Structure 1
């Protein structure tokens, strides 16, 4: 599909269409190695090589990103008070249509999915999909096996909210840690669930979305592009035991890497 050169550059950089025209006038844009000046030049994004201001722009039909979110960032495209997760996306992966598909609390860490694929995001966030998300949680008090029945039965929390049945289990390495699997995302839900059971969450790290787990060595603030076959894995049938095995195997790396 052919696209105007100025639109292609503006959609994949921080430059406005007017900025792009200035770059073109200054000879700062090349197509297939040749300097060009025509903003309306039609290019084939899948075949033509484009550089703007010295940076090569990589074309992708859609972009899928796993971000290891540090605390202090908000999951939105714009916020007047705090930095958003989009500020962590590297230039070679960024375009103006990317947004976080779902949210993670400002003081929580871990897997945030970013994309420019609105159709996929709609599938993921649809209440009918019930895409399970898993969280590694550090608790103030020791984990109790009694939590499991309470989570499975649909826990009543504050403000009259009743949660959908959820999964929880302890982590063998440390009795102050638990793995939680949720099919919904009420405001501060994990914290409110443990509070209702007389415990408090000290830290929370999202480990997985659907069938896809975060890379245990992905540093806080770093992004990793997700391939198409990994998207299918994310949307595939979820297995809580597989995520638990991952957590047990990668426990100390996750803790030290993310200061949990």
Structure 2
């Protein structure tokens, strides 16, 4: 039941709430447990309204700068607006959020179960980013990140894998690769700010086993199979 309704309709928490209210009915029978099996051909109603099963879709996008990772916004472009009209299926959302000016890999799907699995903290899905930094990152910076950090507001972070790709001591800049498994708000920017540096550019290069195709340009996307994600 949870898998069925999280495809296009609700998140896990909402589905459990609806089940507790006893307002989900399958083939005339009230659903009382999240583990109940539902087939594509079953008739499902929620509070008297019929639902229709929809196929799961998965889009891998090369997100450009200046675009919001949200489903709608009245004044600014969103990643949904970059999809062709025929690909804007009900329930399509970005898996996690990239900041407005963060670029590259972003997955969009209407598969609520997969979305939950990729974002759940206990799943530890690794995400790798490349960043240009105003500041000279060195071995001391690597050690600081590797031992775990507590930010100024008390937020505790797990240890982070961090490599310096390039240093420019004369101009006071660095290029780095960083791997995180959490998804704290503005996490990477806040981490570097805590050590007196600024993230100038940030791009996500991988999420789990996902990587962008070399020929996928900024603002473009491609539909992929779920087997490419898991």
Question: TM-score if structure 1 supplies the norm length?
Answer: 0.62
* Per-residue CA distance 1:73-102 (angstroms, 9 max, x = gap): 111112233211101112443312211111
Corresponding position: 1:88 with 2:86: no
Corresponding position: 1:104 with 2:104: no
| Contact 1:67–1:112 (8 Å) recurs in 2 | yes
Corresponding position: 1:162 with 2:156: yes
State the structure with bigger RCO (CA 8 A, min sep 6), 1 or 2. 2
- What is the DSSP-based 3-state SS (H/G/I as helix, E as strand, rest coil) of the residue aligned with 2:153? helix
Once residues 70 and 140 of structure 2 are traced to their aligned partners in structure 1, the CA distance between those partners, rounded to angstroms, is 36
- 1:145 to partner: Cα distance: 2.0
- 1:162 to partner: Cα distance: 1.7
- What is the DSSP-based 3-state SS (H/G/I as helix, E as strand, rest coil) of the residue aligned with 2:229? helix
Q: How many residues align?
A: 175
Once residues 120 and 112 of structure 2 are traced to their aligned partners in structure 1, the CA distance between those partners, rounded to angstroms, is 12
Once residues 188 and 181 of structure 1 are traced to their aligned partners in structure 2, the CA distance between those partners, rounded to angstroms, is 14
What is the correspondence of 1:124-139 to structure 2 with a 5 Å cutoff? 124-139=118-133
**Which of 202, 205, 216 is the matching residue for 1:204?**
202
- What is the DSSP-based 3-state SS (H/G/I as helix, E as strand, rest coil) of the residue aligned with 1:112? strand
- What is the DSSP-based 3-state SS (H/G/I as helix, E as strand, rest coil) of the residue aligned with 2:101? coil
Name 2:62's counterpart in structure 1: 68
- What is the DSSP-based 3-state SS (H/G/I as helix, E as strand, rest coil) of the residue aligned with 1:128? helix
More helix by share: 1
- 1:173 to partner: Cα distance: 8.7
More moved, 91-100 vs 177-186: 91-100
- What is the DSSP-based 3-state SS (H/G/I as helix, E as strand, rest coil) of the residue aligned with 1:139? strand
Structural RMSD (CA): 2.1
- What is the DSSP-based 3-state SS (H/G/I as helix, E as strand, rest coil) of the residue aligned with 1:123? helix
Name 1:28's counterpart in structure 2: none
| Contact 1:140–1:199 (8 Å) recurs in 2 | yes
| Contact 1:140–1:201 (8 Å) recurs in 2 | yes
Q: Which has the greater radius of gyration?
A: 1
| Contact 2:151–2:194 (8 Å) recurs in 1 | yes
Structure 2 residues not aligned, in runs of 5+: 1-7, 9-53
CA distance 1:63–1:217, shift in 2 (3 Å): same
Name 1:51's counterpart in structure 2: none
Question: TM-score if structure 2 supplies the norm length?
Answer: 0.70
Once residues 97 and 158 of structure 1 are traced to their aligned partners in structure 2, the CA distance between those partners, rounded to angstroms, is 36
CA distance 1:124–1:191, shift in 2 (3 Å): same
